[in-house]
């Protein structure tokens, strides 16, 4: 789950007020959030009793709202593999046969994407690969001239533009897809390396080490692979910046010196002389089906054209190894987003629309956008039938704001529709304030954007009616530091739902507007997905 979608959150907000619109619907919204994030739902991990309870709850509500399912069911299969790293697994980094003093979780995490019971590495050499980027359009290739067979590479997070802040190098401060850890692990496998360890640094990663640790330990989900993912590198993982300092100091360098070298276009991979990695991975593997929950309100005139509203229903489940609270309730992330699409569906229950509206409760987002990826690759409709989509991934209850944040601002004509509906509450769009964090690539909408479908990703803004921008930024920092992907992400008595009430009304109105129009919004000119959309709309007459 990406962080920026959740950034504006009030941990303890006093003076709860009556929502300004539709109290009946807001009472139901609050009930949905409290139910989904209750201990009874055990953190909503796919494949667990709590996950099953979540799918059934959403399905029951979709039925109450009069929605249709697909092929007679609201549950749409997503084939998953659960891999748990056993305690018998081992990992070590040594220099001249002396092992580094590092601890699993605190200093490093590791795994394999190969869906097999055992993977072993013995005395694999290590090489620093810079940013691990091969980007022909930017004339940048960190892999040039290096033989990676039998080696584990160490790479920096993000891309060179983040540090250089030069608009002529990548996209300057704004992250490109080359900066994403997902790209780096995929690319290193293509290059033939045995494995990769990414160095964590908070600013370019956009989250602290605690997020890396909690997200990559315990059972891990992936889409089921007939090939067992043997094309992936044997080992993947992260190390802390402090661990990298230990490594680099032993070759007479430092993290900053190595990063400085990696920022030069003529950078060449650096062998980490004397270093070797050994690991034995013992996996427990289970196979299961999870489900996306799909409900459709059929349009009366154009039933084969769809407006798509999505939110992921899953979270991190529970961790029995923790002392005290063991449940990752995921109240903001993402019981709120799920409750929002349910609320819009509920409000549309007794209204006719010209086009159909599709509501998606997506699974396994926390495991790498798996539910949306599976649906996008196995879509039950032609992509040209999807008029537009909206994604909701964390709706913090902090009161009213003067603005709404659009992630990846400047992407599509859906922003023009949003502006029109924001006027009702005298709100304005605030562009993505941190494009360097690459949040546009971190949530479920990207699975559909890659197919050309325009999808809007909007969040409550920073500028609070009560307290302004300074107060909003303070709450943002508190959520990121203390609540995101932690057991403390729960519903609190002092949440203020006034802003959420406005936002639900805005998206309800925008959904109706699109569903009753003949518009086919597109990506703006020069957007990376525009040509895909144009091709899908050939011969499609509005």
pLDDT in tens, 499-532: 999 999 999 999 999 999 999 999 998 777 898 9
> What pLDDT is attached to residue 147?
94
**pLDDT digits 0-9 by tens, 434-443:** 888 888 888 9
Of 235, 251, 285, the position where a domain reaches its end is 285
pLDDT digits (tens, 9 = 90+) for 357-370: 999 999 999 988 99
Given a cut of 70, is residue 102 above it in pLDDT? yes
Measured over the CA atoms of residue 232, residue 235, residue 239 and residue 243, the dihedral's sign is negative
Which of 285, 311, 328 terminates a domain? The answer is 285
User: Has residue 474 been placed in a domain?
Assistant: yes
- The arithmetic mean of pLDDT across residues 42-53, rounded, is 95
- The single residue listed with the structure tokens 């003093």 is 101
Residues 226, 29: Cα–Cα separation, whole Å:
40
Q: What percent of the chain has pLDDT over 70?
A: 95
* Mean pLDDT (whole number) for 488-496: 95
**Residue bearing the bigger pLDDT, 173 or 88:** 88
Examine the domain organization and report whether 48 and 181 are in the same domain.
no
* Co-location of 36 and 131 in the same domain: no
The pLDDT assigned to 56 comes to 98
Q: Summarize pLDDT for 138-153 with one digit per residue, the tens.
A: 899 999 999 999 999 9
Q: What is the mean pLDDT of the chain?
A: 92
CATH number of the domain where residue 488 is located: 3.40.630.10
Q: What is the pLDDT of residue 289?
A: 86
| Comparison of pLDDT for 21 and 509, the residue scoring more | 509
Distance from C-alpha of 131 to C-alpha of 162, rounded to nearest angstrom: 11
How many H-runs (helices) and E-runs (strands) does the chain carry?
15, 20
Task: Specify if 291 maps to a domain.
Answer: no
Residues 96 and 62 in one domain: no
Do 302 and 253 share a structural domain?
no
The answer on 459 and 316 residing in a single domain is yes
- If you ran DSSP here, which 8-state letter would residue 524 be given? P
pLDDT over 60 at 14, yes or no: no
**Distances from the Cα of 176 to the Cα of 21, 159, 376, angstroms:** 39, 7, 22
Percent of the chain with pLDDT over 90: 78
- Structural domain includes residue 73: no
Domain with 115 in it: 83-285
What pLDDT, on a 0 to 100 scale, did the predictor assign at position 540? 64
Are 314 and 414 found together in one domain? Answer: yes
Q: What is the pLDDT of residues 107-160, one digit of tens each?
A: 999 999 999 999 999 999 999 999 999 998 889 999 999 999 999 999 999 999
Q: Are residues 370 and 404 in the same domain?
A: yes
Residue 78 lies in a domain: no
In terms of domains, do 63 and 201 share one?
Answer: no
Domain count of the fold of the chain:
2
In a domain, 404, yes or no: yes
pLDDT of residue 12: 37
Residue 516: per-residue pLDDT: 98
Q: Is 273 found in the same domain as 315?
A: no
Identify whether residues 335 and 418 lie together within a single domain. yes
Q: Per 3-state DSSP, what percentage of the chain is helix, strand, and coil (rounded to 5)?
A: 30, 25, 40
Give the CATH number of the domain where residue 205 resides.
3.50.30.30
Predicted local distance difference test score (pLDDT) of residue 488: 96
**CA distance linking residue 416 with residue 508, whole number of Å:** 16
Q: Of 195-209, 241-255, 432-446, give the lowest mean pLDDT range.
A: 432-446
Are residues 239 and 208 part of one domain? yes
């Amino acid at each position: 789950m990406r962080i920026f979608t959740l950034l504006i959150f009030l941990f303890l907000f006093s003076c709860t007020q009556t929502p300004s619109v539709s109290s009946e619907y807001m009472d139901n919204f609050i009930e949905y959030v409290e139910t989904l994030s209750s201990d009874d739902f055990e953190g909503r991990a796919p494949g667990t009793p709590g996950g099953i309870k979540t799918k059934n709850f959403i399905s029951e509500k979709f039925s109450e709202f009069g929605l249709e399912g697909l092929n007679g069911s609201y549950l749409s299969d997503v084939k998953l593999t659960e891999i748990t790293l056993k305690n018998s697994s081992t990992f070590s980094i040594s220099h001249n046969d002396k092992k580094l003093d590092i601890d699993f979780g605190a200093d490093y995490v590791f795994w394999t994407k190969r869906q097999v019971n055992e993977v072993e590495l013995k005395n694999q050499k290590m090489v620093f690969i810079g940013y691990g980027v091969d980007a022909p359009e930017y004339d940048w290739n960190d892999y040039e001239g290096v033989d990676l067979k039998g080696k584990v590479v160490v790479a920096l997070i993000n891309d060179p533009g983040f540090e250089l802040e030069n608009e002529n190098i990548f996209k300057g401060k704004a992250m490109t897809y080359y900066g994403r850890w997902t790209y780096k692990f995929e690319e290193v496998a293509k290059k033939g390396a045995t494995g990769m360890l990414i160095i964590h640094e908070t600013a370019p990663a956009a989250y602290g080490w605690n997020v890396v640790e909690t997200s990559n330990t315990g059972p891990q989900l992936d889409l089921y692979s007939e090939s067992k993912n043997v094309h992936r590198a044997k080992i993947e993982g992260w190390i802390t910046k402090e661990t990298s300092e230990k490594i680099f100091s032993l070759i007479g360098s430092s993290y900053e010196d190595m990063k400085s070298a990696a920022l030069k276009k003529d950078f060449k991979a650096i062998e980490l002389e004397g270093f070797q990695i050994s690991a034995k991975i013992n996996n427990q593997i289970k196979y299961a089906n999870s489900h996306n929950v799909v409900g459709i309100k059929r349009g009366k005139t154009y039933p084969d054209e769809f407006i798509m509203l999505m939110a992921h229903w899953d979270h991190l489940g529970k961790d029995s190894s923790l002392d005290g609270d063991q449940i990752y309730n995921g109240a903001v992330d993402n019981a709120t987003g799920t409750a929002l699409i349910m609320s819009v569906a509920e409000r549309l229950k007794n209204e006719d629309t010209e086009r159909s509206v599709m509501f998606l409760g997506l699974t396994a987002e926390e495991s790498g956008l798996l539910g949306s990826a599976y649906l996008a690759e196995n879509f039950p409709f032609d992509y040209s039938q999807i008029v537009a989509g909206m994604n909701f991934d964390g709706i913090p209850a902090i009161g009213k704001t003067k603005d709404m944040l659009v992630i990846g601002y400047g992407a599509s004509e859906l922003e023009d529709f949003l502006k029109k509906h924001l006027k009702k509450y005298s709100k304005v769009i605030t562009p993505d304030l941190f494009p360097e964090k690459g949040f546009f690539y971190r949530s479920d909408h990207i699975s559909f954007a890659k197919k050309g479908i325009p999808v809007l990703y909007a969040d409550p803004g920073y500028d609070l009616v009560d307290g302004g921008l300074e107060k909003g930024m303070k709450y943002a920092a508190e959520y990121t530091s203390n609540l995101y992907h932690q057991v403390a992400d729960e519903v609190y008595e002092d949440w203020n739902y006034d802003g959420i009430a406005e936002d639900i009304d805005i998206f309800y109105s925008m959904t109706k507007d699109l569903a009753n129009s003949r518009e086919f919004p597109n990506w703006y000119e020069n957007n990376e997905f525009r040509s895909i959309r144009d091709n899908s709309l050939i011969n499609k007459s509005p």
